[in-house]
Amino acid sequence: MYNKILVTLDATPTDRAIIEHIKELATAMHSRVALLHVADGWAARTYGADAVSPEVAEDKAYLEKVRSEFQSTGIHADAELAFGEPADEIIKWVEKKGCDLVAMSTHGHRFIADLFLGSTSRAVRHSISVPVLLLRAK
């Protein structure tokens, strides 16, 4: 059912909820996992893939750590770092590379906060045609 699952990460403790959930789902479904983090700091937005900054180095190390965590449980996982606006980059990734499910943790903002702060998950789920699994972080 879910051959390829895209797991979006924001490199915060919020990620743990979706990581643990997808480990179980991917194991049960024999799924491949693609991990995506979008670097959106000043250097990343200005220089894209050419960005060199402590933030980009930390993001790469984080992705590799999570990829290794999936691999150690027998789940095939790839990791990719994108640069720019998170929602836009996630949507582009799905359109370009395709997947059967997009899995995201949410911060659990309420309606009013989403209106003012924006919501990556809201933008993504309204722009793609594959199922989106949203898991609220604790």
Q: How far apart are CA 37 and CA 104, in angstroms?
A: 11
Q: How far apart are CA 43 and CA 86, in angstroms?
A: 15
132-136 and 4-9 strand pairing: unpaired
pLDDT > 70 in the chain, percent: 91
| pLDDT higher than threshold 70 for residue 110 | no
| pLDDT higher than threshold 60 for residue 116 | no
Instruction: Note the residue count of the chain.
Output: 138
Q: 27-56: b or e for each residue (b if 16 or more CB lie within 10 Å)?
A: eeeebbbbbbbbbbeebbeeeeeebeeebb
Domains of the chain with bracketed CATH? 4-136 (3.40.50.620)
Task: Provide the sign of the torsion angle of the four alpha carbons 10, 11, 12, 16, taken in this order.
Answer: positive
Tell me, yes or no, if the pTM score tops 0.85. Answer: yes
| pLDDT higher than threshold 60 for residue 115 | no
pLDDT at 112 (0 to 100): 52
- Beta carbons of 23 and 72 less than 8 angstroms apart: no
pLDDT in tens, 26-72: 999 999 999 999 998 888 888 778 888 888 999 999 999 999 999 99
**Using 50, 70 and 90 to split pLDDT, how confident is the model at 136?**
confident
